[in-house]
């Protein structure tokens, strides 16, 4: 049984076998954290600890599944299935369903996703006659509500919070307290919770019902938390309460990878663990098994600049590996083509698959240029954070019917399908139903099932249509207890008329939607079979809960696998790729301009850079552009301070024709004074130096120089001349035609391909 311990290094083994009392496991990037968490749980069970007394919390379903599968190989599937393991939201949703009566919610409550929550806010803003196009934007409102809930502020407390009142007034949204109050009221009326409610109501449950808390404190003798640095205040408080009796709490994480403060994550939770549990044991996992020595050492040289951290010495015994390539592009467009070309080159040279590459960027808006470049090079790619399978219209429609079948008071689901497929119930009728529901403070379903509906001012024809819809949903409700999730979905898709409508429409779009519905049926069948095998609940409520809490990493399809991955660095955490491109390494972009205004913000940006670099297993490439379009204006871009913070012995700054040229790194008309060094100072942040050795400078002294006039004379632009364009980079003139002042030149650019340019606007520079 204990042979699994032989697969651990000494530090990992100590973290696995010393199971009693509070423990903090600091796990550096790629140090085998998942293995340690897995083996620690397996070791507890092998020592006779009942699996149902173990609570293991993760941040993704994927991580929970992976850990549970590994445990089952050690202790057997039957025991592994009894562990309370899952995401924070799924575990607390399970507890809330069991204890729903204590908080006056139905056990079948709906979980609203972001789309549902914004739809509800839209309705509230409409009823309050507030302009959602200006200050009262649904996304902004939802963000403020989410922040309040994560800080455990209910509407009444929010209204009395002076700091938030000032912030709302400054943002020109003084009605926020009333909007929040209405939002909570409408959710309760609909028997619905949003993601943040799952944490908020768990805290309320444990606060107001100490006997319930005592029950779960007794049940969970051992508590393990993954990615502890990502916990917010609400999660932190629940964990502290649950661990209050036995104090056998083990948290695993890495303060150097704390990057989610915008979601409410508090790095203080992991930094102050020793204050919460003075008798804690500290374990450091410092050997990186993922990356080459060069990548690990380079990442260390950056993150050591942070002051707020638990010090550790991450090392690698893998191959030394290639140096990190630094590439300068002439423009953001050029950057896209350089990366696309580089991927093709590396794929052929090192026999990589497309799935071995990832392009990581600071903001979603950066993806467009890389998408265009990859498409032009016929390189397949996928984007994390795009439209999820479960967010597609046809899937949302059928899920809305399923939600109504278990909770008919779900107003958002009802509004979505009351006239889909079309059954003659228009907007005027729905507005009248909503007005009645608001007047009597009840759900739309209560209005529809009220015997007095015919006397509420509806025409007999309208009443007939509404009754037909009500009878349809009532029929589904009655079938749920007696049918499997798969069978009831099949019944609803057929009886609702959705399948009939899609079959009648012979368009390609309709066929695609049918294929998506088929995939949904496959997902439900797979869910039911897996839950049945593991002895877990596989009803419709359980399926809907699992779907509502899925993340991008949980919905990856087989046909998405062999593609280049494009994603924000925040989305990349927890993943790894053989080759990583970190793009847009420029001041104001990465680190972002807003984050750079404070020491804490800059340290989080540095942690974000650390996370990005440590996603790479074998090779990493850093790119930045000399110019970038912002709001339609071409602006000069300056290399990021992070480039200067990396120990330059780990950088390759002269690889390839389009590589970063240290001699001309800052040689623009407006920035020549910065050639010698890269000095930045903001809010007392120390000045990182970006210096190059004399040897490198001499090596570059013979490289081509640029004419720095606004543009070269049209008469000098002739076929065969090598020129440089501000956006497209370097190219060869193929053809010149026309007369002054409308002379055109066809230029074959190395990365951007052939372009025809009007010389009076092109500002071409001749390379001599």
* 338 in Cβ contact with 624 (< 8 Å): no
Determine phi and psi for 380, rounding to 5 degrees. Answer: -70, 140
Cα 583 to Cα 16, 345, 512, 727, distances in angstroms: 38, 18, 34, 16
CA atoms within 13 A on the CB side of 446: 14
Per CATH, 10-103+200-285 and 315-387+561-662 having the same topology is answered yes
Q: Give the residue extent of every domain in the chain.
A: 10-103+200-285, 110-190, 315-387+561-662, 389-549, 721-766
CA–CA dist 261, 267 (Å, integer): 8
Q: Are strands 357-361 and 577-582 parallel, antiparallel or unpaired?
A: parallel
Question: What is the per-residue pLDDT for 693?
Answer: 37
Q: SS3 sequence, 42-102?
A: HHHHHCCCCHHHEEEEECCHHHHHHHHHHHHHHHCHHHHCCCEEEEHHHHHHHHHHHCHHH
Record the tokens describing residue 235, joined without a space: 């999660």
Of 126, 230, 225, which is closest to residue 179 (Cα–Cα)?
126
CA–CA dist 461, 467 (Å, integer): 10
Record the tokens describing residue 550, joined without a space: 């899925």
Residue with the two structure tokens 């083990």: 250
CA–CA dist 310, 271 (Å, integer): 7
CA–CA dist 757, 737 (Å, integer): 10
CA–CA dist 597, 42 (Å, integer): 46
**Which pTM was predicted?**
0.78
Record the tokens describing residue 326, joined without a space: 């630094």
Q: Dihedral (C-alpha) 735, 736, 738, 742: value to the nearest 10 degrees?
A: 120
Question: What is the per-residue pLDDT for 662?
Answer: 40
632 marked as binding residue: no
Question: What is the per-residue pLDDT for 257?
Answer: 94
* 167 in Cβ contact with 154 (< 8 Å): no
Q: Which residues contact 180 (CB under 8 A, 6 or more apart)?
A: 144, 145, 148, 155, 158
When computed from its CA atoms, the radius of gyration of the chain, rounded to whole angstroms, is 29
* CATH superfamily of the 10-103+200-285 domain: P-loop containing nucleotide triphosphate hydrolases (3.40.50.300)
Q: Are strands 357-361 and 222-225 parallel, antiparallel or unpaired?
A: unpaired
Q: Which residues contact 236 (CB under 8 A, 6 or more apart)?
A: 266, 269
Record the tokens describing residue 71, joined without a space: 């445990």
Question: What is the per-residue pLDDT for 683?
Answer: 35
* 293 in Cβ contact with 600 (< 8 Å): no
Cα 646 to Cα 297, 299, 641, distances in angstroms: 9, 7, 9
Question: What is the per-residue pLDDT for 551?
Answer: 61
Question: DSSP letter string over 190-222?
Answer: TTEEEHHHHHHHHHHHHHH-HHHHHHHHHH-SE
* 650 in Cβ contact with 329 (< 8 Å): no
Of 229, 259, 287, 329, which is closest to residue 637 (Cα–Cα)?
329
29 marked as binding residue: yes
Give the catalytic positions in this structure: 33-34, 226-227, 257, 615
58 marked as binding residue: no
Record the tokens describing residue 621, joined without a space: 């490439």
30 marked as binding residue: yes
Q: Dihedral (C-alpha) 663, 664, 665, 669: value to the nearest 10 degrees?
A: 140
* 353 in Cβ contact with 562 (< 8 Å): yes
Domain spanning 110-190 has what CATH number? 1.10.10.160
Instruction: Report the residue count for the chain.
Output: 768
Determine phi and psi for 139, rounding to 5 degrees. Answer: -65, -40
Q: Taking the chain (768 residues) in consecutive chunks of 10 residues, what is each chunk's mean pLDDT?
A: 79 95 95 94 94 94 89 90 93 96 94 92 91 80 94 95 92 94 96 96 97 97 96 96 96 94 91 94 96 97 93 94 94 92 94 96 89 91 76 90 96 95 92 92 93 80 94 94 87 92 79 84 81 72 85 57 92 94 95 86 96 97 88 80 93 58 38 35 35 36 35 74 82 87 84 80 78
Q: Which residues contact 354 (CB under 8 A, 6 or more apart)?
A: 343, 347, 379, 380, 381, 562, 563, 564
CA–CA dist 755, 306 (Å, integer): 46
* 150 in Cβ contact with 264 (< 8 Å): yes
Domain spanning 389-549 has what CATH number? 1.10.486.10
Sign of CA dihedral 572, 573, 575, 576: positive
Residue with the two structure tokens 């290094």: 9
Question: What is the per-residue pLDDT for 709?
Answer: 36
The CATH class of 315-387+561-662 is: alpha beta
Q: Give kind and range of the element (H or E) at residue 616.
A: strand 616-625
156 marked as binding residue: no
CA–CA dist 438, 263 (Å, integer): 32
């Amino acid at each position: 049984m204990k042979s699994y311990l032989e697969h651990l290094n000494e530090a990992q083994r100590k973290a696995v076998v010393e199971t009693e009392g509070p423990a903090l496991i600091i796990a550096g990037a790629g140090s085998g954290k998942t293995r340690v968490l897995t083996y620690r749980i397996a070791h507890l069970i092998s020592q006779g600890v009942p699996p149902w007394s173990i609570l293991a919390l993760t941040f993704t379903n994927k991580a929970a599944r992976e850990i549970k599968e590994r445990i089952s190989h050690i202790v057997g599937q039957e025991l592994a299935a009894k562990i309370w393991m899952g995401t924070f939201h799924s575990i607390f949703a399970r507890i809330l369903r069991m204890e729903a009566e204590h908080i006056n919610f139905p056990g079948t409550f709906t979980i609203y996703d972001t789309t549902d929550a914004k739809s509800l806010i839209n309705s509230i803003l409409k009823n309050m006659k507030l302009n959602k196009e200006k200050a009262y934007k649904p996304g902004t409102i939802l963000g403020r509500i989410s922040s309040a809930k994560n800080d455990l502020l209910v509407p009444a407390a929010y209204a009395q919070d002076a700091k938030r009142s000032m912030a709302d007034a400054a943002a020109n949204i003084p009605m926020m307290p009333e909007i929040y109050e209405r939002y909570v009221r409408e959710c309760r009326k609909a028997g619905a919770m949003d993601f943040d409610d799952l944490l908020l109501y768990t805290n309320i449950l444990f606060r107001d019902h100490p006997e319930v808390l005592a029950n779960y404190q007794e049940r969970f003798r051992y508590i393990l938390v993954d990615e502890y640095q990502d916990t917010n205040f609400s999660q932190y408080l629940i964990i502290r309460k649950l661990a209050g009796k036995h104090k056998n709490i083990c948290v695993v994480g890495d303060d150097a990878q704390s990057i989610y403060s915008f979601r409410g994550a508090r790095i203080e939770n992991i930094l102050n663990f020793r204050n919460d549990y003075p008798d804690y044991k500290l374990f450091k996992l410092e050997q990186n098994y993922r990356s080459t020595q060069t990548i690990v050492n380079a990442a260390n040289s950056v993150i050591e600049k942070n002051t707020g951290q638990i010090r550790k010495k991450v090392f690698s015994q893998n191959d030394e590996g290639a140096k990190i390539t630094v590439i300068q592009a002439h423009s953001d467009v050029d950057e896209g083509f350089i990366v696309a070309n580089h991927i093709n080159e590396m794929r052929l040279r090192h026999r990589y698959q497309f799935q071995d590459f990832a392009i990581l960027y600071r903001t979603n808006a950066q993806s467009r240029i890389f998408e265009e470049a990859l498409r032009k090079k016929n390189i397949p790619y996928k984007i994390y954070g795009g439209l999820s399978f479960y967010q597609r219209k046809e899937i949302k429609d059928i899920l809305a019917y399923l939600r109504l079948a278990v909770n008919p008071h779900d107003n958002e689901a009802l509004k979505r399908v009351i006239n889909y497929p079309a059954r003659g119930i228009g907007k005027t009728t729905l507005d009248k139903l909503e007005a009645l529901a608001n007047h009597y403070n009840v759900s739309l379903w209560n209005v529809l099932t009220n015997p007095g509906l015919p006397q509420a001012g509806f025409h007999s024809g309208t009443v007939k249509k509404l009754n037909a819809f009500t009878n349809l949903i009532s029929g589904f409700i009655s079938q749920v207890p007696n049918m499997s999730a798969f069978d009831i979905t099949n019944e609803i898709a057929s009886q609702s008329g959705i399948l009939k409508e899609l079959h009648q429409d012979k368009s390609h779009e309709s066929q695609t939607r049918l294929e998506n519905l088929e995939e949904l049926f496959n997902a439900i069948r797979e869910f039911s079979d897996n839950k049945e095998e593991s002895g877990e609940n596989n009803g419709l409520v359980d399926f809907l809960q699992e779907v509502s809490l899925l993340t991008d990493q949980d919905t990856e399809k087989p046909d998405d696998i062999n593609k280049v991955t494009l994603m924000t660095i925040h989305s990349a955490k927890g993943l790894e790729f053989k080759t990583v491109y970190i793009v847009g390494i420029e001041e104001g972009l990465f680190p972002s301009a807003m984050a750079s205004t404070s020491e804490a913000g800059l340290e989080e940006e540095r942690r974000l850079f650390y996370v990005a670099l440590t996603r790479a297993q074998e090779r990493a490439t850093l790119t930045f552009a000399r110019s970038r379009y912002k709001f339609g204006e071409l602006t000069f871009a300056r290399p990021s301070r992070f480039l200067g913070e990396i120990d330059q012995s780990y950088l390759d700054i002269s690889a390839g024709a389009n590589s970063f040229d240290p001699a001309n790194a800052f040689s623009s008309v407006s920035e020549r004074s910065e050639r010698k060094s890269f000095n930045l100072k903001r809010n007392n942040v120390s000045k990182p130096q970006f210096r190059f050795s004399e040897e490198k400078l001499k090596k570059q002294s013979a490289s081509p120089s640029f004419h720095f006039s606004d543009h070269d004379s049209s008469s000098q632009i002739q076929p065969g001349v090598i020129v440089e364009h501000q956006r497209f980079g370097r190219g060869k003139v193929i053809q010149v035609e026309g007369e002054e002042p409308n002379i055109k030149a066809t230029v074959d650019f190395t990365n951007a391909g052939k372009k025809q340019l009007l010389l009076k606007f092109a500002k071409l520079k001749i390379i001599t």
